[in-house]
Structure 1
Amino acid sequence: MSVAVVLFTSDLRLYDQPVLAAALRRADEVVPLFVRDRGVTEAGFDAPNRLAFLADCLAALDAGLRERGGRLVVRTGDVVEQVCRVVARSGAREVHLAGGVSHYAARREERLRTALGTVRCALHVHDAVITAVPPGRITPAGKDHFAVFTPYLRKWEAAGVRDAAPAPRSVRVPDAVESDPLPSRRAVTGTSPGLAKGGEQEARKRLRAWLADGVEAYEERHDDLPGDATSRLSPHLHFGCLSAAELIHGARRRGGPGADAFVRQLAWRDFHHQVLAARPAASWSDYRPRGDQWRTDGQEIAAWQEGSTGYPVVDAAMRQLRHEGWMHNRGRLLAASFLTKTLYVDWRVGARHFLDLLVDGDIPNNQLNWQWVAGTGTDTRPNRLLNPLVQARRFDPRGDYVRRWVPELAGLAGAAVHQPWTVTGRDRARIDYPDPVVDLAEGRTRFERARGLK
């Protein structure tokens, strides 16, 4: 009786699951394994919101496996040590794993290959599981990765995406392999009160609703802050409850400008993965150094983190993050631009805060999007600075997004909601809201001088 181990990481699903499908083709029995990795804890990436969402995902994965005659095996500790123990207990001759791009993922693969080699167990790493097009499949002439999105997009569209596969009908798991109890969301403290529910079943329900009544208007509404017209599928993509390949095929079947715009966002996701695969140090080091001498004003950083900068649209975005563990895409751009360019604070400060709260926070997209906004990444206009007042008038014209998340301004009408410091007299006295932490013109001048533009 041949046995293979499937090590789940960021691919917690049964539909369109190439890693599990490959193992089932090659073995009579499979051990579906998830390790609650001590290394992730030590690196500080096990934020409460992601731990709670992960618990949902593992419960859903276990339920799906049990419907097919199997079960999920959960272990806790060092990932290599736990995989080797399961291999020894089950007699497995193969371990299957989805390829990752972070430095940690590369180191995990290297350690697994070395350890499994000593017991004559093969490691199979599968591409195109976490991304639609694997990092490194498409490259410019003479280089190892694309540094600009538009030429990457052209090659990405021509490369094609593999077909999405159905879920397996049955999964046989060896009886001898023991499992720790499944983690529980209820056991996680410090989560955001509005945190969404995770798991493959929830993800597929949201996907069906999005394709039926959402993606069509995506092109014209994705920046609409109060409309909240984005897919909200990013947490499910991060944990792999849905595959990027399935999303692309589903959107393209729907067709239209909205679907095309949504697919471009998935291409951006792949773009960031291929940059980080080629430049792992970009997770914490400037991809393109600008000689920045970042400011470290603790009070201003705290005001930004708490949503008390005095600029309502920025504060609304930061409060949404704290309440939901998620933030609207336009809000992310505004919050990041304000911190890195208006306040001129190191992008790593913002990236770390986002990773502490975002349920969809992963290294390639979080870090490289922060670098893009800060002007140290792949943006071809590295010194662009977003004015929060102009942005608020454009993407929250009636102030509904601000009123939703900054209730102390709910009574203000018209333009005053975005500029509460202009209110005078008794009305101003009734507003319990801080004055701006910085003058916008002053912040712009400081940034431009720091970058040698003035």
Structure 2
Amino acid sequence: MRVSVVLFTADLRMHDHPPLRAALAGGGRAVPLFVRDSGIATAGFGAPNREAFLRDCLADLDAGLRSRGGRLVLRSGDVVEETCRVAAQVLAGEVHVSAGASGYAQRREERLRAALERDGRRLVVHEAVTTVLPPGAVSPSGGGSHFAVFTPYFRAWSRQAPRDPLPAPRAVRLPERSVASDRMPVRGGVRGLSPGLAVGGEKDGRRRMTAWLRDGLAGYEEGHDDLAGDATSRFSPHLHFGTLSPVELVARARGVGGPGAAAFERQLCWRDFHHQVLAARPETSSADYRPRGDRWRDAREQAADDVAAWRSGRTGFPVVDAAMRQLAHEGWMHNRGRLLTASFLTKTLYVDWRVGARHFLDLLVDGDVANNQLNWQWVAGTGTDTRPGRVLNPVRQGRRYDPDGAYVRRWVPELADLPGPAVHEPWTLPAEERARYDYPEPIVDLAAGRDRFHRARDRG
């Protein structure tokens, strides 16, 4: 009887799960295992919103496995130690795991392989489980480990055929030797959650996928930047925790076809792009991909009040404040909102992108090192953006992507009575009329902020 351990990480699903299918192939028996990694908690990535969503995912995965005759074994501690312990208890010959892109994931994989080999066991790493294509699957024709610019990466990526998605196993056979498991935690035990936090788990993810591919995909190309329209898929938390497969999403979107599917696929490619950058340059989780010699304003001294206003959604720029308040309430933010709030912090206020990235990681349920850190760098002009000097004007952005002001009125209710375009520029109202609204004056002059940024970059 062949026995394997399947170590779940950022792939908390049964559909399209190559490690699980490989472990069960040919009548094999498997121990599905998830280790609550003490290293992640120590590194400060255990934010309440992600912890609650994770608990939903674990409970849902356990229920799905049980419906097929299996169960999820939950352990806490060092991933390598706990995985080796379980493998020894069930006399497993192999451990199957999905490849990760971050430096932490790569080091964890190396440690696990070495520890298993010492015990006479084998680590089997499966690619293209958390991304459409594995990092490194396409590389620049002129040499180099990765693409540094998105457009040529997208062209090369588009020429590749992803693997076919796999169905969920009909049965999960456990080994005769049983192993102890921690009790499944519940969301109710997590404090400090965003009030509007979404539900986690593969069941909810697949429900959302089916509904959005049917009703939302066709309008995605035209509507995905509409702040009030909320026409994005909202799949990012499910992609982060792996309750949805990016390979399956591409396959199903292509099955629908049309401009919306093409635009959606491009966004999934952006996700792959950032993962291949991080896999090749793990240090970019905290270091500039392309240093610009910035001497950022100190967030604890020079810019302390500005950063506090930005975090609390009280900058005096309604669309920025609306997006920051959405983040606080939902643990999620519209993609257009992420771009403009990041530009405002890094370029208009000239504050280090790492300050903003940390705040986002504290709240985002989809807080992902590759996408969060590298998107922040892209906006700050220290990453892969080919136009590092661009500055997004929040007033113009608001008028363009929230023309009726509905997004602002939803999240900044103190401005709900303002008519039409005035909602994006309340400071232009007469003083006596402004006094009726409990809303701050702008914390910075946009032109002055833009000039300060360009002068600082020119000096760098």
| TM-score (normalised: structure 1) | 0.99
Aligned to 2:243: 241
8 Å CA contact 1:99–1:127 kept in 2: the answer is: yes
8 Å CA contact 1:3–1:27 kept in 2: the answer is: no
Aligned to 2:33: 33
Q: How far apart, CA to CA, are the structure 1 residues paired with 2:221 and 2:372?
A: 22
Aligned to 1:168: 169
Map 1:199-210 onto structure 2 (within 5 A).
199-210=201-212
Q: How far apart, CA to CA, are the structure 2 residues paired with 1:158 and 1:69?
A: 40
Aligned to 1:294: 296
Aligned to 2:265: 263
Q: How far apart, CA to CA, are the structure 2 residues paired with 1:225 and 1:415?
A: 15
Q: How far apart, CA to CA, are the structure 2 residues paired with 1:158 and 1:176?
A: 46
Q: How far apart, CA to CA, are the structure 1 residues paired with 2:152 and 2:52?
A: 38
Task: Please state whether the residue corresponding to 1:295 is helix, strand or coil.
Answer: coil
Q: Which runs of 5+ in 1 are unaligned?
A: none
User: Which of 284, 289, 303 is matched with 1:282 structurally?
Assistant: 284
Q: How far apart, CA to CA, are the structure 1 residues paired with 2:26 and 2:393?
A: 56
Aligned to 2:103: 103
**Residue identity opposite 1:136 in structure 2:** G
Q: Which runs of 5+ in 2 are unaligned?
A: none
**Residue identity opposite 2:195 in structure 1:** P
Q: How far apart, CA to CA, are the structure 1 residues paired with 2:431 and 2:49?
A: 42
8 Å CA contact 1:342–1:443 kept in 2: the answer is: yes
Aligned to 2:134: 134
Q: How far apart, CA to CA, are the structure 2 residues paired with 1:133 and 1:434?
A: 47
Q: How far apart, CA to CA, are the structure 1 residues paired with 2:434 and 2:275?
A: 48
- Report how many residues are paired: 454
**Residue identity opposite 1:119 in structure 2:** D
Task: Please state whether the residue corresponding to 1:452 is helix, strand or coil.
Answer: helix
CA deviation digits over 1:181-228, x for unaligned, max 9? 011100111010000001000000000011100010000000000000
CA deviation digits over 1:396-439, x for unaligned, max 9? 11111000000111111122211111222442211111111100
Moved over 3 A (4+): none
Identical-pair percentage:
68
1:300 Cα offset (Å): 0.6
Aligned to 2:187: 185
CA deviation digits over 1:126-156, x for unaligned, max 9? 1000101000111012111001111111110
CA deviation digits over 1:341-395, x for unaligned, max 9? 0000000001110010000111000010000000000011011100000110101
CA deviation digits over 1:227-274, x for unaligned, max 9? 001000110011000110100011111111011000000000000000
**Residue identity opposite 1:9 in structure 2:** T
Aligned to 2:144: 143
**Residue identity opposite 1:169 in structure 2:** R
**CA RMSD across the alignment:** 1.1
Aligned to 2:46: 46
Q: How far apart, CA to CA, are the structure 2 residues paired with 1:316 and 1:42?
A: 32
Aligned to 1:215: 217
Task: Please state whether the residue corresponding to 2:458 is helix, strand or coil.
Answer: coil
8 Å CA contact 1:148–1:380 kept in 2: the answer is: yes
Q: How far apart, CA to CA, are the structure 2 residues paired with 1:425 and 1:153?
A: 50
Q: How far apart, CA to CA, are the structure 1 residues paired with 2:437 and 2:188?
A: 37
Aligned to 2:381: 375
**Residue identity opposite 2:386 in structure 1:** T
User: Which of 445, 448, 451 is matched with 1:442 structurally?
Assistant: 448
Q: Which moved more, 1:309-318 or 1:170-179?
A: 170-179
